[in-house]
Amino acid sequence: MVPYWRLSAYYFFYFAFIGAFSPYFTLYLKSLQFSAWDIGVLMSLMQVMRVLAPNLWGWLADRLGAKTPIVRGAALMSLLGFSCFFFVQTFSGFFFGMVLLAFFWSAALPLVEALTFTHLGAQASRYGAIRLWGSVGFVAAVLGLGWLLDRLPLSTTLWVSLGLLGGILACALALPEKREARHETDRLPIGDILRRREVKALFIACFFMAAAHGALYVFYSIHLVSRGYGTTVVGLLWTLGVVAEIAVFLYLPRLLHVYSLRVILLFSFACAVARFLMIGWGVEWLAVVLIAQLLHAATFGAYHAAAVAAVNRWFGGRHQARGQALYGSVSFGAGGMVGGLLSGWSWDVAGPELTFTLGSIFAFTGMIILWRGWLPEHP
């Protein structure tokens, strides 16, 4: 039996925390008079630790033959790391708290993704039906906190985020362990899998896709607020994107029967090219902003579902945890770090329009690499 609701609840609280933290924590930092560069550096620490930590946690999980003890320990330490923000006001204090939070936070998702696919087994197409609860959690948090922040101080962000981290810990304690079945790739060294042309192409392309989203996750809310949008509207716009993402997760089994993973990914990259140009140059027109947010269905929903499915297909058995960890490290880790840091620099030097144009260039680069490197004959 697949523990559907326990896995779904974990995704709900995990992405609810992102829904509270990613759009609004930057506004809280701005209220403390941190510069765009300071905000970019602090937020990029989440990605820096995704480069360094997941491979350690994935290796440890594969060695232990168990994932849930690490997921539970990571949830507890993330909660403690975030608590630092209640007691500091300086850049160095926030830097320390972010390092502690991010080092343990980065351990969780790749292991839970691997655990989910292990529980699903031959029912891997049901992944979207579980993962969509993460999108529901994101919507609930981004809408609820956006509404609260129109009425309460920005420090409310800290209290809501802390409560959501407590929910993550409770769900982690309830997750059941399951060991992987033997897989045909068990006999292969992981380096042999990584040297495959399509695997290298996907990982490099995912690096550029995450870099393309750097400005979105760090400066999108600031961009909108600076053009006169209220925090409630900001929350609604974030929500629109995630509702579109939920629709993709619901429709995912049909998509996978009609289109290959490669085709879905190439389409997602093309949508990202258009989306970031629209955000950068069309923010004055609400209709353009709305269309750009609907494209989140492709640039994250379809993209992420297809990418993790490909990783799960290529890295099975004893390599599963490290495969998902590598995907997280290369994409959300290294790519997100580069995108966040470059957007922090270009925001002050070149302005928001060119910053989001840079994201579009990153997405186009990833699309070309994927198209040339992952040939159609590979499923």
pLDDT tens, 266-304? 999 999 999 999 999 998 999 999 999 999 999 988 998
Query: pLDDT tens, 248-271?
Result: 888 877 887 888 899 999 999 999
Residue 330 structure tokens: 């290369």
Which pLDDT value is given to residue 308? Answer: 84
Query: pLDDT tens, 135-153?
Result: 889 888 988 888 888 888 8
Task: For the chain, list residues with pLDDT below 50.
Answer: 378-379
d(C-alpha 183, C-alpha 115), whole Å:
15
Which pLDDT value is given to residue 329? Answer: 77
Query: Quick one: angle between helices 197-212 and 214-226, nearest 10?
Result: 20
Which pLDDT value is given to residue 379? Answer: 45
Measured CA to CA in angstroms, residue 71 lies from 42, 96, 169, 334 at distances of 24, 22, 9, 22
| Ranges of H-type helices in the chain | 4-31, 36-64, 68-83, 91-120, 127-149, 156-174, 190-194, 197-212, 214-226, 231-258, 261-281, 286-294, 296, 303-314, 320-328, 336-349, 352-373
Residue 300 structure tokens: 């994250």
**Complete domains list, the chain, with CATH:** 4-174+190-373 (1.20.1250.20)
